[in-house]
A and B are shown apart, each in its own frame.
Chain A
Amino acid sequence: MREFLTLKDLFIKYRWRYAVGIFWLICVDSVQIILPRFLGYITDSFQSGGLTERSLLINAFYVLLTGILIFVFRYLWRMYIIGTARRFEYSLRDKYYKHLLELSSNFYNTHKTGDLMAHATNDINAVTMALGQGVVMLTDSLFLSIVTVAVMFIYLNKTLTLMSLIPLPAMAVTASIFSRKIHHRYKLVQDSFSNMSDIVQENISGMRIIKSFVQEDNEIFKFIEANKDYMNKNMSMVRLWGFMAPFIQTLSGLGFIIILWYGGTLVINGLLSLGDFVSFNMYLGLLIWPMMAIGWVINIMQRGAASMQRLNEIFHIKPDIYDRKVIDMDMIDGDIEIRDLTFSYRPGLDPALKNIDLTIKKGETLGIIGKTGSGKTSLCNLLLHMYNVPDNTITIGGVDINRILLAVLRKNIGFVPQENVLFSMSIKDNIAFGVEDCSDEDIIEAARIAHIHEEILEFPDGYNAMVGERGVTLSGGQRQRVSIARAIIKKPGYLIFDDCLSAVDTQTEYDVLTSLKDIIKDCTTIIISQRISTVQNADRIMVLDNGMIAEYGTHEELMKLGGLYYSTYQKQQLEKQLNEMD
């Protein structure tokens, strides 16, 4: 249970709500414990001939009052305990999300989205269950069973109490042993289920090969095996729990029979009043549920703890990029200088960038050309401080990038990424993604420059059209241009285009670049591309190969060099010719 220490603050915050909830729960239990005494009293006063219409009416009223109290208390404990668990759930998810926002790119490279999602759904769910239902069942079964047994023992016949309780330990033991075994078999069922899922997943992913090699029948055979195994695993579990529930029911029935036989004999011999006999029966009824709950409580608490542990593993990861020893400034301005920069994503991996020395003068445009994996995107990531860079290897306006506030750095850089991630919000909001407040005119202006304005107007809701599954589906080219608008609306001093125009045809690319001309002129710009046509007008062009600067200079210089740049140019010319042929 130590896992839950992470939630200490929340427990302190909600301690009164829990306390009040548990108080109401105990109230319900107490009222429940009184009820059998009423019935016993009625019985006894009837027996002694002292039962009158009037006392009957009063007692009936008491029963009704009990019902009303139980109604109120049950409502209250549910609202308090389960409600508090829901607050916990909210706060836990909130904490989780906040934590995710802080973690840096390195974390996301090593953790799959699906896994992180599972934490937010299944694990938070299991913790909520433990903190809600788990707490209720724990309190309820502990309090109810202890107090009931005590009341029976103190106020009623001691021997009969002991005798009628004989099956109870057996029930508790059966319930906990079985639930452990069931838990085990349930795991087998889950494994078999995921095996079956894997088979279906593989089958559908490999459908082309299956059809080509006429493997359908084999696949069906394979699936039937998995399907059968799953069925068998399920049945092996059914054999257990199908046994457990009726078995416990039988054990509790046994308790009633003991009361009927032994208690009945006591009544006949005048050693027990009929009223006490009735009370006994009712008390035993109250005890069944807490006994059955023991197994569940253990299970729910264990699962909650396991899930909490999984969440803690994430909570304990510290973000590796954060503001430290920063200089107080809210603008960056000046040349970008890179000095002898070598960088690898993880120690032991081959460096993604090797000995990079580079100066980008303020207001200049640098084009970067290189194959996939040559280090272009890594360079962008470092300029945006997505990963940690050694001190004094990258400076902007003479200030080490590690000493610039992350928010300031990123506010001043307009970045257009390679994969154009847009969010499920309106196109308008997507363009204004990085700016706090901007007018509609600003948005339209940015869209015009990115050459997407006309296309946006053609959507049913124009700028208010939603992006994503429930809205308009944008083509790759449209997404790229929205993404460009998103970057330039920030009016940044620095612009980075990371191979962002690959999904548009050359004509559109030309149009976009032409209208971006004025902006690029005012900014320090880096344009990364695989196409020469995109970068050939840049002030300087760098050819990256295998993480190193292979060639550097203007278009003309590089053409004269006759190296990698030149041969790439030749090839792309050929490609262009091919595409123009009909």
Chain B
Amino acid sequence: MEYNIDEEKIGKVYDPKLMGRLLGYVKPYRAYILTCILLLLIITFLDLATPYFTKVAIDNYINGLNTPMYLFKEGESPVEGIGFQGKVLVRTNQIHGKLDKPVYQIIGLNGEYYLIKGTLQNYEGTSVSDDMGITPALTDFSGRYVLIRSGGAEYPGIRLSDEDLRVFRNYDIRHVFMISILLLIIILLSFLLNYIQVYLLQYTGQRIIFNMRKELFTHIQNLPISFFDRNPVGRIVTRVTNDMETLNEMYTSVLVNLFKDVFIFIGCIAVMLSLDARLALISFAVLPLVFASTFIFRNKVRSAYREVRLRLARINATLQEDISGMKIIHIFNRQKRQYENFNNINLDYYRANMRQLTIFSIFRPTIDLLYYLTLSIVIWYGGGNLIQGSIQFGVLYAFINYISTLFQPISDMAEKFDIMQSSMASSERIFMLLDQPEEPGDVHTVKALDRISGKIEFKNVWFAYNGENWVLKDVSFTVNPGETVAFVGHTGAGKSSIMSLIDRLYDIQRGEILIDGVNIKNINTKMLRRHISIVPQDVFLFTGNIKENIRLNKDVDEEKVKRAARYVNLDGFIQKLPRGYDEPVMERGSTLSQGQRQLISFARAIITDPEILILDEATSNIDTETEALIQDALRKITQDRTTIIVAHRLSTIQHADKIFVLHKGKIRESGKHQELLKKGGLYYRLYLLQYSDRNNEAVSP
């Protein structure tokens, strides 16, 4: 039953047991999650396609003018080519394999462009001679004939006029435009899918957290009262609120995005390998360094983060303590030393922050540095290939793009560790609360109590809140249906415990409590409580309005609320409120007087017409007018039902059918007021102590 956990504990990054349980909550939404993953796969595909198409645009069109071309007769070309002088030229890179066709190439020299037969790579030492006896037979095209000489070889060709050149350029421009349109479609599609994906993922995350919250809250409702005695309210609230938020972050920003990172990573590698395997492998040479440094830094980042968290917690604890103890600090002239102490803690925190900053300041730029290292390798090696002509320029360009994409997920890694770590710690705390045993409930449910007579019996009841500190020792008594009995006793005699036990807020250790002759352990707890109404000493009012506070249950109609209010003399007061029954209850009812709160509590108790009423009278003084109303209401509500009162008013005990005098956990005396007084025992002394000077009540002993 012990539920105690170090709030500042910082857990592991990954705990398979916790993760397994967390994934259990994902199950109902696996279709959504799978859709998200599928969408991410498509999005990654689209993202990676962009640099690829850019590469195509550069190599084939923007930088495509110099590409050698096959010559086809009109209508014979297998793919779309460039129509020129009634023939068709198709760039060699548009066709797989080598063809046995004449090859032409456009070269630009000193601002002039020539279409030559054959291919020429290096323009150095190239000379052009005009029209020197070149016959049209040497080339398939007509125009101003030229002969290009380069490296001992001769290339016949024609000089291209501006109009001729435009034919080729328009072909390229048209295709670049088409690719641009294609890319536009891709980014629009990617936008759409991204939005759907983000929405779906967040929706799923929110649903999962909604469900978990609901489960946790419902579970809390079924925990025994003793659990709430042991655990501070704030701690339980934090489980339902903040810890759940951390989990939400885990579900939405880590879980699914992990897939995205993996997709991008694999996708990049695949595309790069397919573009140029050797260059790809060379660029990957740095990756082991990236992994190694991530691995090394991971632990450092984690421990630095942990330090910062712990020191921050210390700062907060010290501040909290010093603010609440400020009076003592002043009185004992401790300002200087408390300041020194705080300063040390503050400095410690600053240093921890700086350590974390240093580690981060090295880690993040290290990844950047490795990126630049990869980039320079690609430029050097890829550029070499470019010069040798073994790759095209666009490939190099695409590689530069893919490398930066490849490094993206790696830089975010540290952040994801953070999230994982805190979510593991949160989930551990949440599950620990979920694993608390619920109130002993319906195991032995035997009786469906519809209507009871209201007889209460305690048979040799022993009860302790913990261990052997008996609050009630061998208590036995019987209350007959319709009777009003009062319990009196000094503080700590066990009166309130008896009230709680009848309602089965706690289970007794020995003996039996019977209602209508049935052991309450054999009655459904909720069923039992429906027949019992409690009016506590401190009235607890909920946020809402007066009406809601009286009826509590939503399906009680307004007329019934008003009838109950009239019955307990509350109606007159409510009528005076600006909004009547709809008057909002501010700050837990602090604007209402003690007496008014008491009356609301009465109305709340009798609205369901319970057979048993348990009443802990308010001790504080209530103004005479309200007091009279309360007395009158009290008389009415105790009629015709079994009533147990922890009495603080003399009038109440005087009207009781029976009085039980509790002392140190035992019933010492019982009887009627006058009889007990005459005995001159415990009751007499209690009477003198507690009731004798209530001068607003005329009493004769």
Contacts and interface: CB of A to CB of B under 8 A. Distances in A.
Given A93-B346, A231-B210, A121 B65 contact: no
B326 interface: yes
B372 A64 contact: yes
Interface string B598-617: 00000010000000000000
A490 B37 CA distance: 70
A355 to B, nearest CB: 26
B386 A108 contact: no
A310 B374 CA distance: 49
| Interface residue tally on A, bucketed by range | 35 or more
Contacts of B14: none
A557 interface: no
Contacts of B331: 384, 386, 410, 413, 415, 417, 434
B98 interface: no
B694 interface: no
A90 B358 contact: no
B418 to A, nearest CB: 16
A246 B195 contact: yes
A260 B176 contact: yes
A234 B206 contact: yes
A466 to B, nearest CB: 12
B136 interface: no
B540 A205 contact: yes
A83 B372 contact: no
A74 interface: yes
Interface in A87-105: 87, 89-90, 93-94, 97-98, 100-105
Contacts of A578: 490, 663, 682, 685-686, 689
Contact of B324 (A57, A103, A104, A113): A113
A170 to B, nearest CB: 14
A202 B689 contact: no
Contact of A207 (B225, B326, B397): B225
A417 B328 contact: yes
B338 interface: yes
B536 to A, nearest CB: 7
Contacts of A227: 210, 213-214, 217
Nearest to B231: A204
Interface in A382-420: 384, 386, 406-407, 410-411, 413, 415, 417
B183 A260 contact: yes
The majority secondary structure among interface residues of chain B is helix
Contacts of A218: 552-554
A71 B176 contact: no
A57 B376 CA distance: 9
Interface string A510-552: 0000000000000000000000000000000000000000000
Nearest to B178: A261
A260 B180 contact: yes
B199 A242 contact: yes
B384 interface: yes
A149 interface: no
Given A51-B383, A67-B369, A242-B198, A98 B339 contact: yes
A6 interface: no
A550 to B, nearest CB: 16
Contacts of A245: 194, 198
Contact of B552 (A61, A215, A581): A215
Interface residues of B, number: 131
A178 interface: no
A206 interface: yes
A208 B188 contact: no
B62 A267 contact: yes
B417 interface: no
B393 A274 contact: yes
Interface string A212-236: 1111101111011001100100110
B383 A74 contact: no
A450 B511 CA distance: 44
Contacts of B349: 90
B333 interface: yes
B19 to A, nearest CB: 23
9 contacts: A51-B386, A68-B369, A214-B529, A216-B526, A242-B198, A250-B191, A260-B180, A406-B330, A410-B333
Interface of B: 50, 54, 57-58, 61-63, 65, 108, 122-124, 169, 172-173, 176-177, 179-180, 183-184, 187-188, 190-191, 194-195, 198-199, 202-203, 206-207, 209-210, 213-214, 217-218, 220-222, 225, 228, 233, 236-237, 240-241, 315-335, 338-339, 342-343, 346-347, 349-350, 353-354, 357-358, 360-362, 364-366, 368-369, 371-373, 375-377, 379-380, 383-384, 386-387, 393, 397, 400, 490, 503, 505, 526, 529-530, 532-534, 536, 540, 542-543, 552-554, 588, 604, 663-664, 682, 685-686, 688-689, 693
CB-CB nearest 9 A-B residue pairs? A67-B372, A434-B332, A60-B380, A261-B180, A246-B194, A242-B198, A253-B187, A78-B361, A64-B376
Given A238-B203, A256-B50, A406-B330, 14 more contacts: A59-B380, A67-B369, A97-B343, A204-B236, A212-B503, A214-B526, A215-B552, A234-B206, A242-B198, A242-B199, A246-B198, A264-B173, A264-B176, A407-B333
